[in-house]
Every structure is written in C-alpha cells, then in structure tokens.
Amino acid sequence: MEQQTEKKKRSLSLIQPTSIPTLGNYIGAMKGWPQFQDEFETVFGVADLHSITVRQEPAHLRKLSSDMFAMLLALGLDPKKSIVFIQSHVPAHSQLGWLLNCYTQFGELSRMTQFKDKSKQHPDNINAGLFTYPCLMAADILLYQADVVPVGADQKQHLEIARDIAERFNGIYGNVFTVPEPYIPKSGARVMSLQDPTKKMSKSDPNPKGTVYLTDAPEVIMKKFKSAVTDSEMSVRYAEGKDGINNLMTIYSVVTGLSYEEIERDFAGKGYGDFKAAVGEAVVEELRPVRERFEKLSADKAYLQECWTKGADMAQRVSSRTLTKAMKKIGFLLK
C-alpha cells in the first residue's frame, strides 16, 4: 500500500510597497521566508491596494510596487515553488473585501489600533478605506484558505479580526473559509532604531541614521552602525538599561548565529567601536547577495513582468474558487 504524503499547510504573507524593506523587516520576518517554501505551500504578495489609504504619487507607486516584487525574488522566493503576485492584479481581493465589509461590525473596525494611529498621522485624509482596511486584509488571507499567517505584534489584531469574520461567515453559511492561525517565526527578532533603541526600526523614522535599508550600500551601512547610540559603560553584554547594545547584540546574533554568551566572550575587553564595526560588517555580508540580486532583477523589467503575470494567473485560479463559493452561499446569481 502506497504511503500518502501529508498535504502541506498553506501560509500567506503580504507586504505593502510603501518603501524598500528595512533590516528590521528582514530580521523580523523576511529572512525566514525562503525556508517557508519547504515547510509550507506558500503565497507571497505585494499589497499595493492597501497602500492607497495614504495618497500616492502614481509613478512612485508603480516603481515601489515593481521594486518590492523584485525584492521578494531577491530574498530567495522562487516563483516555481510559491505563488508570488501583486494584489491589484487579482480582482477577487477587492470583490471579497466588499463582501466581508457586510459581515464586519462597525464597532469592531472602530476599535482597530492602526485606524486610530493612522488617523492621527493623516488627519486631513481619514478615508473609508483606512477604516475598512481590515476587511480587505481578511479577504487577502481567506481567499487562499491560508492555514497560517506569519505575524508580528503589530499585525496580531488584524489576524484576530480576520478569524472573527471567518467564524461569523462560517457560522451563517457552513464551512466556507479556513480559520487562519498566527505563526510566529522562530528566528524572528524585534530590531530597534540605531538612533533611538527604545523605538522599533521604522522606514518612517525622522532620523535617517536610525534605519538600515536592504538596498543600502556597504559604506552607508557601516556609517549607520558606527554612529549607533550605545551607553557609557563600554561593556558588550546583554542587560537591562543597555538598549543600544542589546539591539546591536540581537542583530549580530541573528546574522551570525552566535549566542549572546558567545558574543560577550568574543568582545570581552574590547570597546564599542570594535563591536559596532563587527556588527556593521556582518550585516553588510548578510545583505550583499540580496542587494546584488535586487539590482539585477529590478533592471530586468521583462522578466519581472513575466513572473508577476504568471503569479497573478496562479493567484486568480486559487482565489476565484473561494470567491465563487462565498458568492454562491450568500445567494448571488452566478453567470
């Protein structure tokens, strides 16, 4: 009797094309994405529909979307192993997003932290899309019947509402959507700003020295690490109150695979200057292949277009089955 191979669970990750990803995005999640392709049936997308809740300059949005797609491939995502696509190329996202609007309560959406935060950041553009953003995010996940969704702390609330919407819909119409589980990546770590280590590294940091981007040139990366904020103790050890050194040790540990104890031993008796240079060099070498592949891929527009067209076709095939099932259950006439 033939042994049946166990079906892989499906994972889904989407990223907005609002900027080139940072070292924080890379260490927190993206570094582990290529390995997902062996463990899961994987879906990765550029969430360009989500990015227009904030006004975008059209040519800039096109470039950022193309660059983000190139970056996904540069990180090691393989279009033969994964569905890699651009969200707006698959109309089912907008269609299911609208349906789920009608199965989501106003009170649920008004409690979302991101809506409150972004409303403060953009008080002149508090649009309906910003408010109903979680319904589109739920559609992104539920369309692909994703079993797991890798999430950081800031996205946990969005996954919780996606689960609530799925359970509500299933409660009315039967088993239509897979209820997704959060997946916390094993190697993920929280990376803080190099200039204010009490805050998360962010592309919106007003101080450009605080954030390392995946496309930064080696000399730029070295400069940023050499000017990283530390403390006056001059001892490389992980301890409370040493936010700057703790952050550098976290980065160095993830990039080199060394434990905190090994790092402390290697840098015993050495100054912060030596340690900052070592962290910078390790990050330069870690990001070098990604940056070089990105430069090559982003220049090859024909290849990118071929990949995102194939990705959209694959995404459309999977998502349209879910959308048709949901529409049939609701009672729409199907053509």
User: For residue range 1-26, what is the model confidence (pLDDT) as tens digits?
Assistant: 444 457 899 999 999 998 899 999 99
Q: Which of 103-117, 166-180, 272-286 has the lowest mean pLDDT?
A: 103-117
pLDDT score at 1:
43
| Residue 199 counted as domain residue | no
Please tell me whether residues 249 and 110 are part of one structural domain.
no
CATH number at residue 315: 3.40.50.620
Pick the more confident residue, 168 or 184.
168
| Residue 178 counted as domain residue | yes
Q: What's the pLDDT tens digit per position in 267-316?
A: 998 989 999 999 999 999 999 999 999 999 999 999 999 999 999 999 99
Please tell me whether residues 46 and 100 are part of one structural domain.
yes
Please tell me whether residues 250 and 286 are part of one structural domain.
yes
Q: What's the structural domain count of the chain?
A: 2
Structural domain for 96, as ranges: 10-189+301-330
Please tell me whether residues 58 and 183 are part of one structural domain.
yes
pLDDT score at 126:
87
| Residue 335 counted as domain residue | no
Please tell me whether residues 54 and 120 are part of one structural domain.
yes
The 3-class SS string of the chain reads CCCCCCCCCEEEEEECCCCCCEHHHHHHCHHHHHHHHHHCEEEEEECHHHHCCCCCCHHHHHHHHHHHHHHHHHCCCCCCCCEEEEHHHCCHHHHHHHHHHCCCCHHHHHCCHHHHHHHHHCCCCCCHHHHHHHHHHHHHHHHCCCCEEECCHHHHHHHHHHHHHHHHHHHHHCCCCCCCEEECCCCCCCCECCCCCCCECCCCCCCHHHCCECCCCHHHHHHHHHCCCCCCCCCCCCCCCCHHHHHHHHHHHHHHCCCHHHHHHHCCCCCHHHHHHHHHHHHHHHHHHHHHHHHHHHHCHHHHHHHHHHHHHHHHHHHHHHHHHHHHHHCCCCC
pLDDT score at 335:
86
Please tell me whether residues 226 and 249 are part of one structural domain.
yes
Mean pLDDT (whole number) for 100-114: 91
Mean pLDDT (whole number) for 178-192: 82
Please tell me whether residues 124 and 73 are part of one structural domain.
yes
Q: Which residues are known catalytic residues?
A: 118, 200, 203
Please tell me whether residues 273 and 233 are part of one structural domain.
yes
Please state, rounded to an integer, the average pLDDT across all residues of the chain: 92
| Residue 124 counted as domain residue | yes
- Report the C-alpha gap between 128 and 133 in whole angstroms: 8
Please tell me whether residues 287 and 143 are part of one structural domain.
no
pLDDT score at 50:
94
pLDDT score at 154:
64
| Residue 39 counted as domain residue | yes
| Residue 258 counted as domain residue | yes
Please tell me whether residues 229 and 179 are part of one structural domain.
no
Structure tokens at 324: 């048709």
Mean pLDDT (whole number) for 172-181: 96
pLDDT score at 293:
97
Give the percent of the chain with pLDDT over 90. Answer: 77
| Residue 3 counted as domain residue | no
Please tell me whether residues 41 and 110 are part of one structural domain.
yes
Please tell me whether residues 244 and 147 are part of one structural domain.
no
| Residue 201 counted as domain residue | no
pLDDT score at 2:
46
Which pLDDT band holds residue 112 (cuts at 50, 70, 90)?
confident
Q: What's the pLDDT tens digit per position in 226-278?
A: 999 999 888 999 999 999 999 999 999 999 999 999 999 999 989 899 999 99
